[in-house]
């Protein structure tokens, strides 16, 4: 009996105008997004390539004349553009685009999005208006299509799962046969899920072909795996909204009431809650310090360090500081001050990242949020990309300074305490021997592990909804 009900329901859903609208809209959206992304990605690659060339130029200048060019040896490390951004952009457009490494002070700074006008900023102040606009923005990627279009169609296809059959009089007829209510629910659920999953699968195949044609994403086993996982996670996400639509249906006695209730639930879980809750947290609980407040903290730490070494300072240092450029004590003080500056700014960045993680922890109510976090983790974009780059840049800075210290260790009057670039002298360095930065992609296993908590919650969300729908339908009035 289950097979007959399922076959009838699937045929009815696929032949409906709603399925046709869903299919056409998804395919056209995928084509449009692919064209937009191809131009956008090429622009990202071009800018990234220019940055790599500029970094090599600055390193070459430094190698040729270390003392003369060390203060200009500021290397820029933006997040490397990846084709996976087409699957999930992960809000990278709202994150700082990368980092600076300032060689002569051994400091890593955030790369500001206002770099072309604001210069090198330690940590860019973010106004509440900027936070407001960023929380209301969306990214045109495949995840956007699923999160908004497919979740909406899931509601549209399932809101009348029980009420329509009841209004037609077929529900009482079906259940008068030896058909169990569980079989009826399961056939409705699977049919709706397949009706949505088929256009999604066709859209993903089309997107892969388009990216291949544009030369954006070469086909490989890792790419196929990422698209396959995206498809499966998307089905789990869409499943939640199919069940929500069915739940609204078994809570209602008419299709009109069920539709209104379903749309309210969809708007709340997809639009209002994820965006508004993040906005409230950002604006009320987690005010980002201004540049002035950051500098006050830095000045306070510098004053403590100066006080610590006050009695050891040479008597004529204030009037003849140039005499002590390579004095071990002065180099030690300078190193501590720069380290204090770096520690303060690292602490602020960690707090900002913690703010985002706190938001994720309390945003588990929305399946849309869980879906976004899990997909961006799987493909390695967004916050995970930013954190991974931060770790690599800091390690590169440490390794680079160690290499330079090794170079100067054989030179006369070199200091063991700090990167004393004055001790380098005018002797040229070997450019090809200098460490070059190359961002490494996060391992797939690590990305998958990061996504598991969100995937687990999304699966539990589905299990709870299915159990609740089944419980309510057992007592549903079919008359």
In terms of pLDDT, which residue wins out, 163 or 234? 234
pLDDT of residue 151: 93
Residue 254 predicted with pLDDT over 50: yes
126-145 pLDDT tens trace: 333 344 334 334 456 899 89
> Which helix (H) or strand (E) covers residue 111, if one does?
strand 107-111
194-214 pLDDT tens trace: 999 999 999 999 988 888 888
Cα separation of 298 and 336, whole Å?
12
Cα separation of 346 and 341, whole Å?
9
How far is CA 273 from each of CA 166, 247, 264, 371, 441, rounded to the nearest angstrom? Answer: 33, 20, 12, 14, 32
Using alpha carbons only, how large is the chain's radius of gyration in Å?
A: 29
List the single range of 17-26, 226-235, 304-313, 404-413 with lowest mean pLDDT.
404-413
Q: Report residue 190 as tokens.
A: 């699977």
Tell me the β-bridge partners of 101: 75, 108
Nearest to 120 by CA among 69, 48, 71: 71
Cα separation of 469 and 479, whole Å?
18
Residue 13 predicted with pLDDT over 60: yes
Cα separation of 377 and 26, whole Å?
24
Domain ranges (residues) in the chain? 17-137+215-238+272-474
Asked if residues 455 and 233 have their Cβ atoms less than 8 Å apart, the reply is: yes
- Residue located via tokens 């869980």: 370
Residue 181: other Cβ atoms inside 10 A: 17
């Amino acid at each position: 009996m289950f097979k007959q009900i399922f076959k009838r329901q699937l045929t009815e859903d696929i032949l409906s105008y709603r399925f046709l609208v869903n299919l056409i809209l998804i395919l056209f959206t995928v084509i449009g997004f692919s064209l937009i992304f191809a131009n956008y990605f090429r622009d990202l690659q071009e800018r990234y390539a220019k940055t790599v060339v500029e970094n090599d130029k600055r390193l070459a200048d430094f190698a040729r004349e270390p003392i003369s060019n060390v203060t200009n040896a500021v290397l820029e490390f933006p997040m490397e553009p990846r084709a996976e951004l087409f699957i999930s952009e992960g809000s990278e457009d709202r994150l700082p685009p990368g980092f600076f490494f300032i060689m002569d002070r051994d400091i890593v700074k955030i790369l500001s999005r206002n770099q072309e006008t604001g210069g090198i900023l330690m940590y860019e102040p973010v106004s509440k208006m900027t936070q407001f606009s960023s929380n209301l923005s969306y990214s045109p990627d495949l995840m956007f299509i699923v999160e908004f279009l497919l979740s909406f169609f899931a509601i549209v296809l399932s809101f009348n799962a029980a009420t329509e059959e009841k209004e037609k009089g077929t529900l009482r007829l079906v259940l008068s046969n030896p058909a169990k209510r569980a079989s009826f629910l399961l056939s409705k659920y699977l049919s709706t899920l397949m009706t949505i999953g088929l256009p999604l699968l066709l859209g993903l195949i089309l997107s892969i072909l388009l990216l291949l044609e544009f030369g954006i994403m070469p086909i490989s086993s890792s790419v196929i795996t990422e698209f396959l996982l995206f498809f499966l996670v998307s089905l789990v996400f869409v499943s939640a909204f199919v069940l929500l639509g069915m739940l609204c249906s078994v809570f209602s006695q008419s299709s009109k009431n069920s539709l209104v209730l379903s749309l309210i639930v969809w708007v709340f879980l997809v639009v209002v809650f994820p965006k508004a809750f993040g906005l409230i947290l950002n604006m009320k609980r987690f005010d980002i310090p201004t540049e002035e407040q950051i500098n006050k903290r830095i000045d306070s730490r510098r004053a403590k360090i100066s006080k610590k070494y006050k009695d050891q300072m040479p008597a004529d240092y204030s009037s003849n500081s140039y005499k002590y450029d390579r004095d071990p004590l002065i180099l030690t003080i300078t190193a501590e001050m720069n380290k204090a500056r770096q520690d303060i700014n690292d602490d602020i960045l960690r707090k900002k990242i913690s703010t985002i993680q706190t938001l994720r922890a309390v945003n588990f109510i929305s399946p849309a949020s869980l879906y976004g976090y899990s997909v961006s983790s799987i493909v390695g974009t967004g916050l995970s990309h930013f954190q991974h780059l931060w770790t690599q840049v800091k390690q590169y800075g440490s390794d680079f300074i160690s290499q330079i210290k090794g170079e100067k260790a054989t030179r006369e009057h070199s200091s063991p305490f700090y990167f004393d670039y004055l001790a380098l002298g005018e002797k040229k360095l070997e450019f090809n021997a200098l460490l070059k930065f190359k961002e490494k992609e996060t391992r797939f296993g690590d990305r998958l592990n990061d996504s598991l908590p969100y995937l687990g919650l999304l699966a539990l969300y589905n299990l709870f909804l299915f159990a609740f729908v089944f419980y309510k339908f057992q007592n549903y009035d079919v008359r």
